[in-house]
Amino acid sequence: MERYVLMEVMPCVRKFLSDLFHIFFSKKFIEFTLLGGINTFNTAWISSLCATFMQKNAAACVGYACSLTFAYYMNCRLIFSSKPTKRGYIKFWITYIPSFVIYALVTFLTINTMHLPQFWGTVLAATISGPLTYALMKFYTFRN
């Protein structure tokens, strides 16, 4: 009986792993990652600039929010080939809620606890949250 159940489950597991492989080892994901690198730099630069005149965690949030507008338009034009719309922009922001939570936690830990520079805390946070964000954008924001 256990062997039968295992044989029934294995094709589902294989399909799931195959789907994951095709999502994260695709041309679109590589392009998204490159654009994410540019956007991470924008976030880090803006938050570092804002940190010169405001609290560091608040500056990280401002930098993150400002860079999302650039990221939305670039993802529309370059990655997902869709027209920017108000509805799409709102869905884009919703997609970034889990990413922002990860970003806020990682930047808080790296900046306040580990005392890393603002720039490197931002880079680490973006690296951790990138794959989740791509999957959410692919299946929710742009449904591609």
Residues 78, 140: contact at Cβ < 8 Å? Answer: no
Burial class of residue 79 (count of CB atoms within 10 Å of its CB; 0-12, 13-18, 19+): buried
Q: Is-above-0.75 flag for pTM? A: no
Residues 90, 38: Cα–Cα separation, whole Å: 22
- At 31-54, the pLDDT tens digits run 888 888 898 889 889 998 999 999
At 49 the pLDDT is 94
Q: Is the pLDDT of residue 5 over 70?
A: no
Q: Is the pLDDT of residue 3 over 70?
A: no
Which is higher by pLDDT, 49 or 6? 49
- At 71-125, the pLDDT tens digits run 999 989 988 888 999 999 999 889 888 888 888 888 889 888 888 887 888 788 8
At 14 the pLDDT is 73
- Provide the 8-state DSSP code for 79: I
Helices (H), 27-117: 27-50, 56-74, 86-107
